[in-house]
Structure 1
Amino acid sequence: MSISPTHPLLRCLWLYRKMPWRFSLTALLFLLVNAAMAWQLWLIGQAVQAVHTGEAIKLLADGHYDFSVAWYWIAIILAVAAGRGILQYFAGVLSLIIGQDLLSLLRERILVQVQRLDLAYHLQHGVGEMVTRTTRDADKVRDALINFWRQVFEASVWILVSIGLLCLYNVWLGLGTLAFVLAGIAIFIRQTDQLVTLDRAVGQAYDQVNQELSEGINGVRVIKAFALESSRIGAFEGFVQTFVRHAHTALAYAAVHTPLPQTLVALSQVWILGFGAWLIQQGQLEVGALIASLLVANTLIFRIEPIGRVMQVFADARSSAGRIWELLDESPTIVGGNDSIPKAALGFRLHDVTVQAAGGNAILQHCHLSAAPGEILALVGITGSGKSTLAALLPRLLDASHGSVDIGSASSGWQNVHQFRLDELRRRIHVVPQESFLFSDTLEANLRLARPQASEAELLEALELAAARDVLDSLSDGLQTRIGDRGITLSGGQRQRISLARAFLAHLSILILDDATSALDALTERRVLDNIRRLRDASGQAVTVLLIASKLSTILLADRVAVLDKGRIVAEGQHAYLLEHHAEYRELVGVHHG
């Protein structure tokens, strides 16, 4: 069984195992390219030696020159160079292709993980942070993947090949060059940790810039309504300046510290020239071999000197890869069971439920609440009493810290929501929030999210049930009208009705409306809620409805009302009963006891 490396950047490279044949072919091509380069330089040395000894061009007895040997060396060197060029082209193209494939695989994993993670994780981490990981961080990893082949793998192969060739000429010629190269690389590596630290600070500053930009765009209506443009621009400029300051610090560190190791690598050429000249004087090295050695050193310097910039790229990528794997290594805390939900009518029951906030405070405390199949139950309470938290428990957008959340009925029995598959549970139980979210797509595409196979007649019926046919009639292209980012082209009430129609289309069993009719006028709201009583699930059973309500007109349409106060259900009953016996309820609905 293979074990994935722990270094974040190596873990990205480890994904190449998913494309083994292309990886192996690319590596083989780069090996052949560098072997061909060494062969070419060796041939040049041999040709120079032939010229030096007079074998390349010979004076014949008749006074003419014989260029056959010279032409031989020229032809073979050109042939090797041409072959190396062809191999280099295919190796470069293939490395770019598999690098891009790896980046696509990484981005796909990020998107899948973002969808898998629980709501609690997204509440803790902002949109800007997610965008940064998918864009800036992924781009930096891509740069490292490209440089992996050209500046790491190929440079490493060339070091081995060139040192091997130099050792063929003279062992100390090769070992001395290797010492300078390793010394320079060692200094580069020592600088990497500091570069990673600096880039992590740059990444965090960039998160803030992205978050501020995202909020500035999404909250543009609020900003304009309160004339906050100047203060928001000032805050944004502050985040940008922080980002620029950290970026300048990282660049300055790299600019100051990279020249020393580059100089050490360049000294290898001085070593070859000086020691090689001494070897020639001692008769231990030919002139052609010295020329070939200098060419090898020149190519080595050309490959190694940019390593300062490469190390910076890898330091940036290591930091970015770490941030990406921090996301990818997160595990959802909410995991579904293996059972299928019965097709019978569903009610719900909360038994002794407690939900703890991240800080330890209880949002819900020993809460008991139930609704029979087909019942419409209104839930009321002051802001912050835990109504939305309670609603999120049924489809397991959140989990209770203590107690059980069950679905079923008193006659058929209750079953804990933990034992059911999450996708099926969330198809049968749906929350429509007050803040409706619509995608930047056509009206039809937004509706079909609930049931892709729905017919056009079913789409129109859902719009009718949500009292949204007038919205459809007002759109220029009907169902094919693009409704803009987050439905910005529609009013708040129109967005709510479209969201309701989408939920009605889903053939759900339990519908939770979290103040989802707050933007509707009383007449439209009554039409919608009356139509909800006609809703049926896929098996033809009446839908159970939990109405989280703040308006009296909404509450009056419920069969029963529950009052939530400080995380506890403090009263239950019909509206008239609660109005008569509970002062807290009268205060909530704004009715004074006569």
Structure 2
Amino acid sequence: MLLETIRPAASSAGSPLMRCLAIYRQMPKRFALTAMMLLAVNLALVAQQGLVGRAVREARLGDLVTRDVAGGLDYRRAWFWVAVLLGLSLARAVVQYGAGLLSLSIGQELLTILRARILAQIQQLDLTYHWRHGVGEMVTRMTRDADKVRDALINFWRQMFETGLIVLVSGAMLIWYSPWLGIVPLALVLAGIALLSAQAGALVRLDRRIGAAYDAVTQDLSEGVNGVRVIKAFGLGPARIARFDAHIATFRQEARAAIVHAARRVPLPQTVIALGHVWVLGYGAWLVSRGTIDLGAFVAALLVINTMVLRIETIGLLLQIIADARSSARRIWEVLDAEPGIVSGHAAVPFGPLGVRLEGVSVAPLEDGAAVLRDLSFTIRPGEIVALVGPTGSGKSILTALLPRLLDAGAGTVRIGSDEAGWRDVRDLDLAALRRRVHVLPQESFLFSDTLAANLRLTAPDADDARLYEALLQAAAGELLDRLPDGLATRVGDRGITLSGGQRQRICLARALLSDADLLVLDDATSALDAATERLAIANIRGLRAGAARPVTMLIVSSRLSTILAADRVLMLADGHVAASGTHDELVATSPAYRALMGLQP
């Protein structure tokens, strides 16, 4: 629901901040109610000031306190005005409190919608986008930038909307007392606002620089936390602290520049606006001396212009908030408007066992023209276990990312299927269905900060404990439960920090097996296992659905001889294409490059 509510705003024309404001269309009742309550509050404020003027007039005429027939003082008229003004103040306070709560409520909902949409968009964007943008940028947009947009739109209610109403109603009241009494202050207000608006562009540019500096701070902080083991292992603490301090210093410098700019430029327009108060005081006194307006109207006019000037003077702070929000909103929509490089097709995945067929595939993952894979072609038959080897940087991981469409080929086709069911281009297939049937297990064993059972159930939410235990046995991790204090309920810590590398890899392998994929790709996913455990795991997987209508097809990226010996066939990548193909014994006999890669003697 939250994701759907923002989509109409994404197609709206206008500035990024206005596109965020358009999200309020998804909550029209609360928006209208808040507007009506604030309208009532501000009309009541001006009316209250006018009533004070009426009370002053009656006091001057001697009608506020009179003598009764018995010669005593009659305070009924005075108590009447006290009751009216007090009652109006209390009612206004209650309504304003309710309007404030409503504006905060819709501001928080807007923040929730923005963050949910950013997270969903991050999941949709392809790997190349994430390679170009760091984690720090994404975190900043979801936290700092989203908060600034929320604050601006809340201040829209408390400043822009209310101040606009005050200016209009107060100006109308002053003009009603005397045309020039209201026209001059309104002209000064417009001039002051124009001067303030002229600073908006510079403030937006300054905030963009602050945002970039904050990105660097967030990125460095993320790397410092995630890489704490490396930092400690190599004694890099002082150097990393100095690096972080440098980023903080840059951020502080940019923030100070924005504050200095605002401090130098904002006072002048505020002074121009404040001259309206001087005008009403001087011109109003002259009108009273001529008898054009009475003392009550003059007092009411002073109260009205005082309220209007005080409200307008806060517009300098509002301008800073809006400028920050404009920059942040632009940064948010840069992410939300980014077109995912990979768009789902609609065709069904072929039924039955799945093989792989690449024809003339070329890939430049960073889209810089530097192809990692060039004119690559090969076929993996359904049910076959193939080892993929090659020197570092030959494109093995890039190749594995093509199969579930984590990346798309720049040229050529990647097909899955079989001779019986037919071969389908992965770009034509439904993406969710494709990734359910094709599972890539990367070398980095990522576990979420949750229980072991929760991590395993990510690919099989309905699996019972018996099925989880069976998957652990297939991944040669059956004894792991005996070592964990709470079994499946054991919390594994951030990224599985409480487990060893081999334990994490086996848990991730068990999670992949629970997905019941037909094509399983292991990208150096057993590198932390000893040879015996690795052979056991691969043998278990080989026996998985053996003889069934849907045998498991495996592509294993590895440089370990024990892994390669467990495969039916070996593919060797070199210079972006298959340099050799065959069994291990065949390649040892026929390929010097393979022997050199594996460190074998001819």
**TM tier, smaller:** over 0.9
| Aligned twin of 2:434 | 425
SS at match of 1:561: strand
Asked if residue 119 in structure 1 is aligned to residue 107 in structure 2, the reply is: no
CA contact (8 A) 2:360 2:411 kept: yes
Matches within 5 A, 1:547-586: 547-586=556-595
Distance of 2:270 and 2:548 partners within structure 1: 74
Any residues of structure 2 matched to 1:269-308 within 5 Å, and which?
269-308=277-316
Return the letter of the residue paired with 1:494. Q
Q: Is the 8 A contact 2:350 2:424 kept in 1?
A: no
SS for the counterpart of 1:362 is coil
* Matches of 2:415 and 2:202, distance apart in 1: 53
Alignment of 1:53-202 (within 5 A): 53-60=61-68, 62-202=70-210
What is aligned with 2:517? Answer: 508
State the match for 2:5 in structure 1: none
Q: Does 1:435 align with 2:439?
A: no
User: In 2, distance between residues paired with 1:550 and 1:81?
Assistant: 79
More deviation, 315-324/409-418: 409-418
Query: CA separation in 2, counterparts of 1:535 and 1:261?
Result: 76
Deviations 1:218-264 (A, max 9, x none): 11111111111121111111111111111111111112222111111
1:17 partnered with 2:25 = yes
1:523 aligned onto 2:532 = yes
Deviation string, structure 1 residues 66-113 (Cα, Å, up to 9, x no partner): 323222222222222222122111111111111111111111111111
Alignment equivalent of 1:237, drawn from 226, 245, 257:
245
The answer (yes or no) to whether the contact 1:509–1:536 under 8 Å persists in 2 is: no
Instruction: Give the distance between the partners of 2:266 and 2:105, measured in 1 at CA.
Output: 31
> Which is worse superposed, 383-392 or 261-270?
261-270
Q: State the match for 1:387 in structure 2.
A: 396
Task: Tell me if 1:371 matches 2:380.
Answer: yes
1:471, 1:540 → 2: CA distance? 32
1:396 maps to a residue whose letter is R
Distance 1:537 1:56, change over 3 A: farther
> Residues of 2 paired with 1:110 and 1:172: CA distance?
51
| Aligned partner letter, 2:245 | E
User: How far apart are residue 176 of structure 1 and its match?
Assistant: 0.8
d(CA) in 1 for partners of 2:420 and 2:70? 119
Aligned position for 1:206: 214
Query: Residue 509 of structure 1 contacts residue 537 of structure 1 at CA under 8 Å; is this kept in 2?
Result: no
Aligned twin of 1:479: 488
Tell me the distance in 1 between the aligned counterparts of 2:179 and 2:454.
71
> Is 2:366 the partner of 1:350?
no
Match of 2:504 in 1: 495
What aligned pairs does 1:248-267 form with structure 2 within 5 A after superposition? 248-267=256-275
- Superimposed CA distance per residue, residues 538-557 of structure 1 (whole angstroms, 9 cap, x where no aligned partner): 98511100011111111111
Which amino acid counterpart does residue 473 of structure 1 have in structure 2?
D
CA contact (8 A) 2:125 2:339 kept: yes
SS of the residue 2:199 aligns to: helix
- Alpha carbons 1:507, 1:536 under 8 Å: kept: no
Can you give the 5+ residue segments of structure 2 that lack an aligned partner in the other structure? 1-7
- CA-based RMSD of the aligned residues comes to 1.5
Percent of aligned positions that are identical: 55
Aligned partners of 2:482 and 2:411: how far apart in 1?
49
CA distance in 1, matches of 2:448, 2:286: 75
Alignment check: 8 A CA contact 1:353 1:403 kept: yes
Q: How far apart are the structure 1 equivalents of 2:227 and 2:88?
A: 63
Structure 1's 472 and 527: CA in aligned 2 closer, same or farther, altered over 3 A?
same
Q: Deviations over 1:348-375 (max 9, x none)?
A: 1001111124221111100001100000
Structure 1 Cα separation of the partners of residues 242 and 256 of structure 2: 21
Residue aligning to 2:223: 215
The secondary structure found in structure 2 opposite 1:353 is strand
The unaligned stretches of length 5 or more in structure 1 are none
* Residues 400 and 521 in structure 2, CA contact (< 8 A), matched pair in contact too: yes
Q: Indicate conservation of the 8 Å contact 1:508/1:538, yes or no.
A: no
Name 2:4's counterpart in structure 1. none
Q: Please list the CA deviations of residues 163-202 of structure 1 after superposition, one character each: whole Å capped at 9, or x if unmatched.
A: 1111111111111110111111111111111111111111
Question: What amino acid is the match of 1:578?
Answer: L
Secondary structure of the structure 2 residue equivalent to 1:285: coil
CA deviation digits over 1:110-151, x for unaligned, max 9?
111111111111111111111111111111112112211111
Task: Quote the residue 1:402 is aligned against.
Answer: 411
Cα-to-partner distance string for 1:416-460 (whole Å, 9 max, x where unaligned): 111111111011001111111000000000000011011211111
**1:470 counterpart = 2:482:** no
Q: TM-score, normalised by structure 1?
A: 0.98
1:35 to 43, 48, 51: 43
Structure 1 stretches of at least 4 aligned residues deviating more than 6 Å after TM superposition: none
Give the secondary-structure state (helix, strand or coil) at the position aligned to 1:164: helix
Look up the SS of the partner of 1:512 in the other structure.
strand
